[in-house]
A and B are shown apart, each in its own frame.
Chain A
Amino acid sequence: MDKKKEVNDIEPGPDSSRSVDRFGFIKTEQSNSQEGVLKSRSTHERGREERRIRKWRKMIGAGGSDWKQYCRRNPHVVKRRIRKGIPDCLRGLVWQLISGSRDLLLMNPGVYETLVIYETSTSELEIIRDISRTFPSHVFFQQRHGPGQRSLYNVLKAYSVYDRDVGYVQGMGFIAGLLLLYMSEEDAFWLIVALLKGAVHAPMEGLYQPGLPLVQQYLFQFERLVREHMPKLGEHFIEEMINPSMYASQWFITVFSYSFPFPMTLRVWDVFLYEGIKVVFQVGLALLRFCHDDLVKLPFEELLHSLRNFPEDATDPDKLLPIAFSFKVLSHLEELEKEYRKRLEGPNASSSSKRLQPLKSKSMRRVGSQVLSNSNVGMATAFKAFVNSPVGPKTTHFWGPVANWGFVLAGLVDLNKPPEMISGNMTAAMCVYSGLFMRFAWMVQPRNYLLLACHASNETVQLYHLSRCAKAQGYLDKKVPEAQQ
């Protein structure tokens, strides 16, 4: 513990040596030693790294042209590769592809420029006050009024105008700053829009609403997950009166970009952009699991200190992320969300639920105003989500089943034709065929309900024809003559 304390007390002052790490952060003694380790490893891993980059380049195609197709065909490969980490040289582009911000950018030419140049925001002073306090130890953002700080200001101001209900919230700066290290101002702006308003999905939607209701919900969910996955630690937290708002609110508000080592932040963001907010829960749980045996022994103050200063080991993405992915949280999060809402709306609901009431109406208004003011973005999102979904009309998984409805139609047309014309063999084959396809549609990922419905219908129709055929051939009438005799 003591050793850790020493390391954390070192503050990167502005007058310390100007050498920077490979991400552009001004080096402290701590990161120097880390860099040494990286170097000795790098020759060994360089070949592998190059192979990885080649694979990724092939996957995304020139300028990202093949990305969507690849994602649809091989969602599992994409997921696996993202979890291994996106190559740093492609990160900026891939982040835009995963989040869908590229499409927003292309659909809204000139919008960003207008927001930056012509609009004014009521949050301007607030933003300015935080500019120099965002990644102050990074060379890009260090220079007063330098290009980094100006870009940061522009992006944050533009967003505060674009989404006036949210405006500017402390913490957004770290997200914008992180993005600006990998892409242009305009790209970063649309990526923030994609995060908060949605393109492919909206992993941060509602997070910055007044009252931060989602953060409070997440903290509730996180506390319960800790108790469930690590009962001993959960019990210890209760005894020591530690609650997640003391250490985890910034995990959710900035998605680990506020106070964690940069290599970890990047790897978390790779996965977060693809898999969504559950990743924050998983990584949070992994941090606690990693330090579990130390944490359960500590009293209040030391405990809180440790929860804000994790050891270097724990924040190594190669060690941390596998633990994170071992937590299955998705279905549980949904249950906990329901429970949380019930609590808020329950008879004993206190001021907190009152707080939420105006929020609801506000968020409704937000959606409305979004559609009105940015109709091309707002209306496009829902439709786009369908169009671009892995079973959407851009894929064979959509048109295949549509064509198969032809079987059903043909079968229906034949309903009134004389049963003698039915080929028993062909109808039986159709029954088996549709049965197999129903199983396929059910088992395939993602589950193809359109195909399932189509073949269930066809199965019904064909079974009916088969029964008519059987009746005509006399297979089903055996008992009737006996009865007549």
Chain B
Amino acid sequence: MARRAAAWEQGGDEYDYLFKVVLIGDSGVGKSNLLSRFTKNTFSLDSKSTIGVEFATRTTQVEGKTIKAQIWDTAGQERYRAITSAYYRGAVGALLVYDVTKATTFENVKRWLKELRDHADANIVIMLIGNKTDLKHLRSVAAEDAAGFAEREGLFFIETSALEATNVDKAFQTVLAEIYRIVSKKALSSSEDSGAGVVGEGQSIQVSAGDPNGGVSSRCCSF
């Protein structure tokens, strides 16, 4: 159940909502650098490939509310799905990243969507991200194609450059704002007709401001 509670305070860090978000997509599309750009405003040309999962947070404002994004960055290689897919559960947002200079990473987006639909909540907010727009001369996926695909699949879409810090904040902010919109709407509807909790319950977006662990039930993976 989503509900608004008093600001949670923990070690001087206050927020109204805690949203769990996952970063997925093929290996080498720039997931880790998108994360470090968003959470630390850093970019590293010689970063290591991600083994398993990485984790970072950032607190930001959406419509006057303080939102804490808890972001799980996953290894992109197929072999790691068994480990990483456990992290989809309980996520309320997903950033599905491809590389605009590598057509295969865009073709694989369909498979990633299937992964999400198999393992994640049905109402997860998904943002399709075409990264590495700074490599203009190497582009092999047209923005229009991706935008068309996103529209058909009901995804948000944006192109970013983690290196130039283009649209990175916007990408995350859009996802967080949409999650917030759904959550607050749900809170509203459930308060309007308290009897029909079925709708609210069926929508399993798990956000809780009172308990920082409430929104990340998938932390306890079933290994």
A residues neighboring B (CB under 8 Å): 9, 11-14, 126, 129-130, 132-137, 142, 169-171, 173-174, 208, 210-213, 215-216, 219-220, 223, 240-243, 245-246, 249-250, 253-254, 258-259, 299-302, 304, 308, 350, 352, 355
Specify which chain A residues have a CB less than 8 angstroms from the CB of B217 in the assembled complex.
241
Most chain B C-beta atoms within 10 Å of own C-beta, residue among A9, A133, A174, A302: A133
Could you say which of B53, B54, B223 contacts A220, with CB atoms under 8 Å apart?
Answer: B223
Q: Is the CB of B27 within 8 A of A129?
A: yes
A256 to chain B, nearest CB (A): 12
Known: A136-B47, A137-B46, A243-B223. 6 other contacts (CB 8 A): A11-B42, A208-B79, A219-B223, A241-B213, A249-B53, A253-B52
Of all chain B residues, the one with the shortest Cβ separation from A128 is B28
Q: Is the CB of A212 within 8 A of B28?
A: no
| Stretch with Cβ within 8 A of A (4 or more), from B80-88, B129-137, B143-151, B189-197 | B80-88
Specify which chain B residues have a CB less than 8 angstroms from the CB of A211 in the assembled complex.
79, 82
Q: Is the CB of A133 within 8 A of B48?
A: yes
Q: Is the CB of A212 within 8 A of B82?
A: yes
Specify which chain A residues have a CB less than 8 angstroms from the CB of B65 in the assembled complex.
none
Could you say which of B48, B55, B223 contacts A258, with CB atoms under 8 Å apart?
Answer: B48
Q: Is the CB of B83 within 8 A of A243?
A: no
Q: Is the CB of B51 within 8 A of A249?
A: yes
B residues neighboring A (CB under 8 Å): 10-11, 27-28, 40, 42, 44-55, 57, 70, 75, 77, 79-80, 82-83, 86, 212-213, 216-217, 219-223
Once A170-B27, A211-B82, A249-B83 are accepted as A-B contacts, the answer to whether A243 and B221 lie under 8 Å apart by CB is yes
Q: Is the CB of A302 within 8 A of B11?
A: yes
Q: List 30 A-B contacts (CB under 8 A).
A: A9-B40, A13-B44, A14-B45, A126-B77, A133-B47, A133-B49, A135-B48, A136-B48, A137-B46, A169-B77, A170-B27, A170-B75, A212-B80, A212-B82, A215-B83, A220-B223, A241-B217, A243-B219, A245-B53, A246-B219, A249-B52, A249-B83, A253-B52, A258-B48, A258-B51, A259-B48, A299-B11, A301-B70, A308-B54, A355-B82
A349 to chain B, nearest CB (A): 11
In the complex, A59 Cα to B159 Cα: how many Å? Answer: 61
A194 to chain B, nearest CB (A): 21
Of all chain A residues, the one with the shortest Cβ separation from B218 is A241
Could you say which of A126, A132, A245, A246 contacts B46, with CB atoms under 8 Å apart?
Answer: A132
Specify which chain A residues have a CB less than 8 angstroms from the CB of B70 in the assembled complex.
301
Q: Is the CB of A240 within 8 A of B49?
A: no
Could you say which of A137, A216, A304, A308 contacts B223, with CB atoms under 8 Å apart?
Answer: A216
Of all chain B residues, the one with the shortest Cβ separation from A208 is B79
B26 to chain A, nearest CB (A): 9
Q: Is the CB of B42 within 8 A of A304?
A: no
A244 to chain B, nearest CB (A): 8
Q: Is the CB of A246 within 8 A of B55?
A: yes
Most chain A C-beta atoms within 10 Å of own C-beta, residue among B10, B27, B79: B79
A443 to chain B, nearest CB (A): 41
Q: Is the CB of B44 within 8 A of A250?
A: no
In the complex, A142 Cα to B47 Cα: how many Å? Answer: 11
In the complex, A273 Cα to B5 Cα: how many Å? Answer: 54
Specify which chain A residues have a CB less than 8 angstroms from the CB of B82 in the assembled complex.
211-213, 216, 355
Once A126-B27, A245-B86, A246-B219 are accepted as A-B contacts, the answer to whether A300 and B212 lie under 8 Å apart by CB is yes
Q: Provide the main secondary structure of the chain B interface.
A: loop
Q: Is the CB of A169 within 8 A of B28?
A: no
B39 to chain A, nearest CB (A): 12
Q: Is the CB of A245 within 8 A of B48?
A: no
In the complex, A294 Cα to B212 Cα: how many Å? Answer: 20
Of all chain A residues, the one with the shortest Cβ separation from B51 is A250
Specify which chain A residues have a CB less than 8 angstroms from the CB of B54 in the assembled complex.
308
In the complex, A219 Cα to B27 Cα: how many Å? Answer: 23
Of all chain A residues, the one with the shortest Cβ separation from B70 is A301
Most chain A C-beta atoms within 10 Å of own C-beta, residue among B44, B49, B54: B49
Once A11-B42, A245-B83, A245-B86 are accepted as A-B contacts, the answer to whether A254 and B51 lie under 8 Å apart by CB is yes
B164 to chain A, nearest CB (A): 17
Q: Is the CB of A134 within 8 A of B83?
A: no
Specify which chain A residues have a CB less than 8 angstroms from the CB of B77 in the assembled complex.
126, 169-170
In the complex, A208 Cα to B57 Cα: how many Å? Answer: 30
Q: Is the CB of A173 within 8 A of B52?
A: no
In the complex, A14 Cα to B44 Cα: how many Å? Answer: 9
A291 to chain B, nearest CB (A): 18
Q: Is the CB of B219 within 8 A of A242?
A: yes
In the complex, A448 Cα to B116 Cα: how many Å? Answer: 56
Q: Is the CB of A350 within 8 A of B222?
A: yes
Once A169-B79, A300-B213 are accepted as A-B contacts, the answer to whether A11 and B49 lie under 8 Å apart by CB is no
Once A14-B45, A171-B51, A216-B82 are accepted as A-B contacts, the answer to whether A245 and B221 lie under 8 Å apart by CB is yes
A455 to chain B, nearest CB (A): 48
In the complex, A436 Cα to B53 Cα: how many Å? Answer: 58
Specify which chain B residues have a CB less than 8 angstroms from the CB of A240 in the assembled complex.
213
Q: Is the CB of A241 within 8 A of B46?
A: no
Specify which chain A residues have a CB less than 8 angstroms from the CB of B50 in the assembled complex.
170
Specify which chain A residues have a CB less than 8 angstroms from the CB of B55 in the assembled complex.
246, 304, 308
In the complex, A173 Cα to B223 Cα: how many Å? Answer: 26
Specify which chain A residues have a CB less than 8 angstroms from the CB of B216 in the assembled complex.
241
Most chain A C-beta atoms within 10 Å of own C-beta, residue among B45, B57, B217, B219: B219
Q: Is the CB of B53 within 8 A of A246?
A: yes
Specify which chain B residues have a CB less than 8 angstroms from the CB of A173 in the assembled complex.
49
In the complex, A446 Cα to B212 Cα: how many Å? Answer: 54
Could you say which of B28, B80, B83 contacts A130, with CB atoms under 8 Å apart?
Answer: B28
Of all chain A residues, the one with the shortest Cβ separation from B72 is A246
A24 to chain B, nearest CB (A): 15
A394 to chain B, nearest CB (A): 40
Specify which chain B residues have a CB less than 8 angstroms from the CB of A170 in the assembled complex.
27, 49-51, 75, 77, 79-80
Chain A to chain B: the 5 pairs with minimum beta-carbon distance, closest first = A136-B46, A249-B52, A241-B219, A250-B51, A129-B28
